[in-house]
Amino acid sequence: MVNTKTTLCGIELDNPVIPASGTFGYGSEFAELYDINCLGTLSMKGSTRDPRFGNPTPRIAECAGGMMNSVGLQNPGIDAVISTELPKLRKVFHKPIMANICGYSLDEYAENAAKMDKAEQVGWLEINISCPNVHCGGMSFGTVPENAAEVTRAVKAVTTKPVIMKLTPNVTDIVSIARACEEAGADGVSLINTMMGMAIDLRTRKPLLANITGGLSGPAVKPVALRMVYQVSQAVNIPVIGIGGITTAEDVLEMMLAGATAVEVGAANVADPFACKKIIDSLPAVMEKYNIQSLKDIIGGAH
């Protein structure tokens, strides 16, 4: 019998598969399709201080090897998430969850983190300093080590729960960003968020997305994500969550061999709402195929 368990920042998961923020709503929506308690955990849609409508449409576009989005952090605001979405999720999901937090200033990050820290079901805070689809905040905090460290310190000062910093691939040296977060007190890092891209509509001869650019995700980014997870996991002593192009159980094993303690599945959920369940269901057989008895034993095994 294979062991699919892994431990993320001191909290044990039944398996390493986590739906990525922004691709799984608030979780309760997917509970109408299947028992989401099969998941390791889930990362909720990102929350900002104030409600956000998001970017104008069209804001999602298919492309070769994946998709692009410029949703722009649409959400009802953190107070509504805590008062409405968390209670709905608690009824259908009985494990600790990951709260994804966004901000446009250090004060907003700290305020949102302090509020989520008080939510009983929240096990981890995933701090998004990597969103490429907003015009202030987001990725601007994640492209300079000093800025990433500042956000990390601001959040760590107001929370008792593990803090996982979500990093952008749109940098020349992601290792320096990860190290800055670790030195500032981060308990883990998750990577990668989407890569900047665009598409042009030949009929209108205009950019297909109203925001002009968007975040590329899906299988096309997996080699980049795998390389960055490999590099970062060698450079830091905190857990790494691998994100980018994961669609199969084989992809999960690859990410963990590169150094990931757990993985997040993003674009695959948009293409197939049962993607995470299918990956989890097939994981034991794929582990047996490659003579893997315990996932914990293969973390960083490719180094």
Report DSSP state, residue 265: E
Q: How far apart are CA 302 and CA 145, in angstroms?
A: 27
Q: How far apart are CA 100 and CA 109, in angstroms?
A: 11
Contacts of 252 (CB under 8 A, 6+ apart): 16, 17, 246, 263, 279, 283
Contacts of 59 (CB under 8 A, 6+ apart): 69, 70, 71, 72, 209, 210, 211, 214
- Positions annotated as catalytic residues are 131
- The values of phi and psi at residue 113, to 5°, are -65, -40
Based on its alpha-carbon atoms, the radius of gyration of the chain, rounded to whole angstroms, reads 18
CA contacts within 13 A on the Cβ side of 194: 28
